[in-house]
Amino acid sequence: MKGLKKTTKVDFATYIGVTIAFIVMYILQSGKHLSNSLSGQLVPICCFIAMAVSLNLVVGISGELSLGHAGFMSVGAFSGVVAGMSLSNVIPSVPVRLAIALIVGALFAAVAGIIVGVPVLRLRGDYLAIVTLAFGQIIKDLINCLIVGYDSRGLHIIFNVSGLKSVTDLHLEEGGKAIIKGAQGAVGVTKMASFPAGYILVMITLIVVLNMVRSSTGRSIMAIRDNRIAAESVGLNITKYKLIAFVTSAALAGAAGALYGLNYGSLVSSRFDFNTSILILVYVVLGGLGNIWGSVIGATVLYILPEMLRSFSNYRMLIYAVVLILVMLLTNNEQFKRWRGSMAEKLGRGKRAEGGV
């Protein structure tokens, strides 16, 4: 191909950047050059990059505000943990089991995405936001009612609506194991996640989202975002494309959730509450709406930021809040925008790169 398109270049730069960052961090990690806390954060960072990139597909590309993205992560995490744990006798290989867990997580989250998306995507703007918020809360409550265990006979699941049942009601055989214990969440999870797995997750997420955006599906999704009425007039099925964006995003979040869940010994559903959804949304907005590599950087920087502010101990979240407000005020300041625009021109960047996809 003669003269690659600008968007293609940006995509490749994103892949290469992520790969280089991975290699550097991996070498540092293997050589024990990383602090324990940073080393422990590599997998969660990968998960949250995938979360941010997938949320960007809904909020940035599709232009719908979702406040319940962590709900899909939660669905993926718990279904992934159940898959990863219960298959331990059948599939001894950890990487294969991890891959299956991620796929299971993605599938369950995709189903949740369809269940929420089909009725809800005809709502617009803030109404969609509130419904996704409600969905996040519902998922949290429902998972708190789950009691799941497995033994040689297979999986046992109780849905503990009354709140009176416990693990003993599963009647597990000798040697059986409880995986999710209601409000206590998942306990005794075998840590299967690894940094390379996180890297692969991020790459797959990027490839899916970027390739979709550059295809007719992505174009249609963006066209609908730009002008719904015109999109209908040229024959685009609005619901179909919105649903594709929403469900793909949910599935990717599910995979990220599964990896996240399998990175810890225990997991409670409140880990994926409204605040987590908001946190991911912040990554996306600060990284730039519709800007995929921006989400990667936004998630990385903002995930590490509170850790770096640790020396401020009690003040760190306060500083985080102030940084958040100031960044929003600054990036929306007309004078600052103009200054940035002129800087961009001086650096010889084309107009499209500015805020481009």
Partner 1 sequence: MSQQKTRMVPVPSQGIIPERDVGSEPILECRRLGIEFGGLKAVDDFNLTVGKTEIAGLIGPNGAGKTTITNLLTKVYQPTHGTILFDGKETSSMNTVQVNRAGIARTFQNIRLFSSLSVEENVKIGLQGHMPYSTLTGILRLPRYWKNEKRMHERALELLSIFDMQDLADHVAGSLPYGAQRRLEIVRALATSPKLLLLDEPAAGMNPSETAELMANIRKIRDTFQIAVLLIEHDMKLVMGICEGIAVLNYGRLIAKGTPEEIQKNPVVIEAYLGKQKEADA
Partner 2 sequence: MVFFSYLISGISLGSVYAIIALGYTMVYGIAKMLNFAHGDVIMVGGYVCYCALSYLNLPAIVAVPLAMIACTALGVIIEGLAYRPLRQAGSLAVLITAIGVSYFLQNGAQLIWSATPKNFASVVHFDLPESMTSLGLSSEAIVTVAACIVIMVVLTLFVNKTKLGKAMRCCSEDKGAAQIMGINVNRTISMTFAIGSALAAIAGVLLCSAYPTLQPTTGSMPGIKAFTAAVFGGIGSIPGAFLGGLLLGIIEAMAKAYISTNLANTIVFAVLIIVLLVRPTGLLGKYAPEKV
CA distance 73 to 115: 15
CA distance 109 to 51: 13
Of 3-11, 172-180, 261-269, 276-284: span binding partner 2 (CB under 8 A): 276-284
| Nearest CA among 136, 135, 156, 134 for reference residue 147 | 156
**Among the residue ranges 92-100, 172-180, 229-237, 278-286, the one whose residues contact partner 1 (CB under 8 A):** 229-237
Side chain identity, residue 273:
D
Chain-centroid distance, C-alpha 197:
15
Would you count residue 236 as binding partner 2 (CB under 8 A)? Answer: no
Alpha-carbon gap, residue 101 to 24, rounded angstroms: 27
SS3 category, 176: coil
215 binds partner 1 (CB under 8 A): yes
Q: From residue 57, how far is each of 45, 60, 209 by CA, in Å?
A: 19, 6, 7
Distance separating alpha carbons of residues 128 and 263, to the nearest angstrom: 32
Residue with smaller CB distance to partner 2, 87 or 327: 327
Q: Does 307 bind partner 2 (CB under 8 A)?
A: no
Interacting residue with partner 1 among 88, 144, 165, 219 (CB under 8 A): 219
234 binds partner 2, rule: CB under 8 A? no
Q: Verify binding: residue 218, partner 1, rule CB under 8 A.
A: yes
Pairing of strands 154-159, 177-181: unpaired
| Residue 126 C-beta: closest distance to partner 1, Å | 21
Q: Which of 37, 162, 168, 233 binds partner 1 (CB under 8 A)?
A: 233
Q: Are 263 and 44 in contact (CB under 8 A)?
A: yes
The least CB distance from residue 110 to partner 1, in Å, is 13
In sequence order, what are the beta bridge partners of 157? 148
Name the token pair of 26.
């991996």
**Does residue number 203 form part of the binding site for partner 1 (CB under 8 A)?**
no
- Name the residues that contact partner 2, by CB under 8 A: 59, 65, 119-120, 122-127, 129-131, 133-135, 137-138, 141-142, 144-145, 160-163, 183, 228-229, 274, 278, 281-282, 285-286, 289, 314-315, 317-318, 320-322, 324-325, 328-329, 331-334
Residues that bind partner 1 (CB under 8 A): 207-208, 211-212, 214-220, 222-223, 225-227, 229-238, 244, 351-352
